Amino acid sequence: MTNSEQDKQNVQDSQDDDYMTMALPDVSSSLLSTRQRKIHAQKEKGINKSYRERERERREEGLRFSLMDTEKPSKAMNMMFKMGYTKGTALGQGCTQSRIEPLEINIKTDRAGIGHETAQKQKIVRETLKIQDEMEYKTRVRLENETKYLEAKIYQAQKVCENLNKKSIDEPRKVNVLWRGLVIERIEKEKERMRKHEILSRVQSLDDLQNEVKPDRHTQVEWSQEDDQDLELDAFNQLDPKIRLEMIIDYLRENYYYCFWCGCAYENVQDLSDSCPGKREEDH
């Protein structure tokens, strides 16, 4: 081998050695530097606080600081002291129940507009009142229907009492108060019908007919003012419809062994007790 060839071989061997012994970068140190950069970035972010955070901190610091504790009072404080104000007391002369601490500042944190909360409260109040009105309406309608139902049952029970009572009574005041109103109402309707029939049957002039159709507003149809004042009947009619119906039903059961809800009369008290399920409508 010649000298030139020997030199080329040595150069090639040295190049192979350099390739085999090439220093590779440390992977662990690379990852560590990346982690350190992230930590440093987080620290920088903590140091460089946002405007909102800085504003909040300044506000909290300002609220913790009292203007009364300053070494050099402001002109406004000096003016208040000259007018007689002292620390720890309320404003005004002789005010013991007034506010000592200033109004607390509540920072708005939501995105709702000004007045939204008030509008929401008003909406809730309106909805609550609407629900109450609906409930009151339903209750009123239910009570009216119950009253109409009870009045109809009272009328039917009064007719049963009148039919079972065989006594012929000419004087309405002598009729039992339980169905006296039914008798008086029927007599009034009958007399009103007869009066109208009598008026229409007469052959009179137009003036006389008008005077007959329009009687004095203070006159009553064959009833004096004294007869109209039936205090016992008025007191009975003032009772609750449920109580009036119970009184009539008890009268029928005690005097005629008659059950209004069964719609029939029994032979005696024992038969009524054994055959009738009870004196209430719910029992039937």
| pLDDT tens-place string over residues 193-220 | 888 877 777 655 555 555 555 544 433 3
pLDDT at 174: 82
pLDDT at 171: 72
pLDDT at 154: 95
Rounded to the nearest 10 degrees, how much is the dihedral formed by the CA atoms of 196, 198, 203, 207? -50
User: Do 92 and 99 meet the contact criterion of CB atoms below 8 Å apart?
Assistant: no
User: Do 279 and 259 meet the contact criterion of CB atoms below 8 Å apart?
Assistant: yes
The three-state secondary structure class of 265 is strand
pLDDT tens, residue by residue, 64-81: 777 777 777 788 888 888
pLDDT at 200: 73
0.85 exceeded by pTM: no
The stretches in the chain having pLDDT less than 50 are 17, 27, 215-225
pLDDT at 215: 46
User: Do 212 and 199 meet the contact criterion of CB atoms below 8 Å apart?
Assistant: yes
Q: Distance between CA 150 and CA 244 in Å, rounded?
A: 9
Instruction: Encode burial over 120-139: b for 16+ CB neighbours within 10 A, e otherwise.
Output: eeeeeeeeeeeeeeeeeeee
Rounded to the nearest 10 degrees, how much is the dihedral formed by the CA atoms of 150, 153, 154, 160? -170
For residue 213, what are the contacts with CB-CB under 8 A and spacing of at least 6?
199
Rounded to the nearest 10 degrees, how much is the dihedral formed by the CA atoms of 260, 261, 265, 270? -110
